[in-house]
């Protein structure tokens, strides 16, 4: 069982819709991440939040808008997406550094399809 919970598991939306992806963890992790994974490709980092503040934005288009309302919750707001945005969106979290490497733990992802 994954300790990072993502909802919904599947989402189909039109190009004019607005929707949100949700990610939740209760492990006390203070860094949270959004990744995008296309078929037969590795996950690619989109955003990193550290202590609820955006610390890394990998030049993601503004039609993707992340939000971290509190230390347990991470949202990704979607608006006016394109068909090429169809992918698996993965959320991850990690502890802050404690003298030893703390790996990222992933949710099972949201499979997004843009019509």
Residues near other proteins (CB under 8 A) are 2, 4, 6, 29-31, 41-45, 48-51, 55-56, 58, 90, 92, 94-97, 101-109
Those residues with Cβ within 8 angstroms of residue 71's Cβ, 6 or more apart along the chain or in another chain: 28, 29, 30, 51, 52
**Closest by CA position to 111, among listed 38, 48, 62:** 38
Distance linking the first and last C-alpha atoms of the chain = 31
Instruction: Identify whether the C-beta of residue 103 lies closer than 8 Å to the C-beta of residue 94.
Output: yes
Nearer to other proteins, 45 or 80 (CB): 45
Cβ at position 43, least distance to other proteins in Å: 5
Q: Measured from the CB atom, is 57 or 82 closer to other proteins?
A: 57
| Residue number, 66 or 104, with CB nearest to other proteins | 104
* Residues 6+ positions from 28 with CB-CB distance below 8 Å: 71, 95
Q: Closest approach of Cβ 15 to other proteins, in Å?
A: 26
Rounded to the nearest whole angstrom, what is the least distance from the CB of residue 30 to other proteins in the complex? 7
- Cβ nearer to other proteins, comparing 18 with 96: 96
Smallest separation, CB 35 to other proteins (Å):
8
Question: Distance between CA 94 and CA 65 in Å, rounded?
Answer: 21
């Amino acid at each position: 069982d994954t300790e990072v919970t993502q909802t919904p598991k599947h989402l189909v939306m039109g190009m004019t819709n607005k929707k949100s992806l949700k990610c939740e963890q209760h492990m006390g992790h203070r860094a949270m991440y959004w990744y995008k994974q296309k078929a037969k490709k590795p996950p690619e980092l989109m955003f990193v939040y550290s202590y609820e503040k955006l610390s890394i934005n990998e030049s993601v288009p503004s039609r993707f808008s992340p939000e971290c309302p509190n230390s347990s919750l991470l949202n990704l707001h979607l608006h006016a997406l394109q068909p090429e945005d169809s992918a698996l969106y993965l959320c991850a979290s990690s502890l802050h550094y404690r003298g030893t490497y703390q790996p990222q733990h992933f949710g099972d992802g949201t499979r997004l399809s843009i019509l």
